[in-house]
Amino acid sequence: RHSMLPRQMQRVGRDWIAHWNSPQVFPWNNPISNCMRWVGHYPWGTFPLSVPFDFSANWRWPLFFGPWRQFQNSNWQLDNFTHNCCFHLSNCNMKSEGGEPSTKKRRLSGQRDTVTPEPETSSSDQKEAPCLSPAQNEGNCTSKRGAIQRHWEYFCQHSRTMKTSKNKATDQSNRESEAKFDFTVMSYNILSQNLLEDNSHLYKHCHQPLLIWSYRFPNILQEIKQLDADVLCLQEVQEDHYRTEIKSSLESLGYHCEYKMRTGRKPDGCAICFKTSKFSLISSSPVEFFRRDIPLLDRDNVGLVLLLQPRLHCKTSAAVCIANTHLLYNPRRGDIKLTQLAMLLAEIASVACQKDGTFCPIIICGDFNSVPGSPLYSFIKEGKLNYEGLPIGKVSGQEQFPRGQRILSIPIWPQKLGISQNCVYEIKQQQKEENTGEKMTEAKLDDTEKIVVASKKLSSKLQHHFKLSSVYSHYFPETGKPEVTTCHSRSAVTVDYIFFSAANDDTAAKPGTEDSLNGGLKLLGRLALVSEQDLWTVNGLPNENNSSDHLPLLAEFRLIER
């Protein structure tokens, strides 16, 4: 009767008698998954069940479990017993789309009928292929079961056909096409394995096998391959994983990698990787936010600033400054967050400054641990912040009712840090004043006193001169619901950003941009974000297809010269 089944499976039918709470039967006539493990051979293996059942008097252990003491020592738990299945029990309820059991649909489509995740197949077969290259992949987005649906949003009609424009029209249009430089930038917090294990309470909603690095890394790498960005800004890159796997894998994809590890005991850091076919490296400047002689700066966060030279076939000598950081998480230490940000901006100002005193185009990526509309976020976008009377716990906006009610001190950081309220190094500020003739050489005593008094009144005002815009709008215009970049058991918010210096003709450009920027960047498109509700339809983050608790951000830019 069961001649097609192994001898062990025939014995299951004779020896295993269970009382079911639901109309679910063992699928003897269905093909058995080839990935199943015989529990008799592996005492640590969990017995396959897909729904809870009743341990009634009619139930007894199957004989192939082996000696009781061997099973008793196998650290058996009910959760593992029911969730970490070795093969699948078909569910006769038609809950799937189209009114067919999911197992039948998978069988008809030629897919394996299995529940146990396998890294080598899930990352390629189950991940959605988003529209990454506007020329090649438009309209080619696939819909995978359990995958987050993200689409490409265009802001420039020409970006849809940018790859084919070089083969059209006259010699003049060809010369214009050669002068244009389009590139993509990704910001992605890939979730350090060490931090995941130290904060396991944030991932109670996840199936444990999905949190293992050997499963997560192939998924992350496959996602990077699919997005195919020209520049990667990665956060929470664990040092040992970077050294043994991440760097070599990215180099095989044509990337050059720069990495800065955190200064403390946390073994992760930030990385910027760029395709050598698109850019060459001019300089790499790591930024350490820890200062032993300044008590305020006792945290080990870091940043990284690169100056890249585009590989253009034209006469220009344009450069692009790419910065990446991961600011302090603590919602009640807004003073540290602002100081870390000021240090990053000061380094950017030093690196991006051109010979004529203007700044080259700038892109700042990272996990800022601040929500849209918060004082820290507004400071980045608007270029100014008056923090007088601002509670320290409201700087990042992470908590609706912040516990840190201490008011920010004026000034926030000590003078020996060497960074002015304009977020530039003091030496650079003095040189600029001398070059522009703004430094006061001869002044009366009364005028000097007035200036000192005025400076004390203005000391609570921070500013920078980059005039940055955000790639994302943070809210869906149709519904008003917030976009989400990170989601775990406790929250789902936006904390990841890509900021850029917009060109004058960009709709996001701001008045006065031409005064401080040498050209700029035009936003051509972006990979759309999703809502919290969308994420929980796939069990939040991480999940089977997305192996970080953050979503990757992706934008396409065009370099515009003045």
Note the pLDDT tens digit of each residue in 11-35. Answer: 444 444 444 444 443 434 444 444 4
Closest by alpha carbon to 319, among 355, 277, 360, 358?
Answer: 360
Per-residue pLDDT band for 140 (boundaries 50, 70, 90) equals very low
30: nearest Cα among 96, 89, 86: 89
Going by pLDDT thresholds of 50, 70 and 90, the confidence category of residue 366 is: very high
Calculate mean pLDDT across residues 329-337. 97
Rounded to an integer, the average pLDDT of 522-530 is 98
Give CA–CA dist 4/332, Å, rounded.
Answer: 64
CB 191 within 8 A of CB 213: no
Specify the higher pLDDT residue, 264 or 142.
264
- Residue 534 is assigned to a structural domain of this protein: yes
pLDDT, greater one: 220 or 31: 220
Would 319 be classed as within a structural domain? yes
Could you tell me which residues come within 8 angstroms of residue 436 by beta carbon, excluding any fewer than 6 positions away?
none
Residue 315 belongs to some domain of the structure? yes
Q: Is residue 93 part of a domain?
A: no
- Residue 367 belongs to some domain of the structure: yes
CATH number of the domain residue 256 falls in: 3.60.10.10
| Model pLDDT, residue 146 | 72
User: Which domain covers residue 210, as residue numbers?
Assistant: 178-398+409-414+458-560
Q: Could you tell me if residue 146 is inside a domain? A: no
Output the six-digit token pair for 194: 């060490």
Residue 441 or 40, more confident: 441
Beta strands in 368-495 (DSSP E): 384-386, 461-463, 468-470, 486-487, 492-493
My answer on whether omega of the bond before 310 falls inside 30° of 0, hence cis, is no
Please say if the pLDDT value at position 214 is more than 70.
yes
Q: Which of 45-54, 293-302, 394-403, 517-526 has the highest mean pLDDT?
A: 293-302
Q: Which neighbouring-strand residues pair with 527?
A: 152
Out of 112-126, 179-193, 520-534, pick the least confident. 112-126
Which of the pair, 59 or 521, is modelled with greater confidence? Answer: 521
Residue 503 lies in a domain: yes
Whole-number percent of the chain with pLDDT over 70: 61
Q: Give the whole-angstrom CA distance, residue 305 versus residue 362.
A: 10
pLDDT digits (tens, 9 = 90+) for 446-472: 554 444 444 445 579 999 999 999 999
If one counts the domains in the chain, the total is: 1
Would you say residue 365 lies in a domain? yes
Average pLDDT, the chain: 76
Q: Return d(Cα 184, Cα 409) in angstroms, integer.
A: 40
The two three-digit tokens of residue 14, written as one number: 């004779």
The span from the CA of 235 to the CA of 323, in Å, is 12
pTM: 0.71
State residue 428's pLDDT score: 63
CA-closest candidate to residue 279, choices 309, 304, 305, 252:
309
d(CA 523, CA 509): 10
Judge whether 146 and 538 are in contact, CB under 8 Å. yes
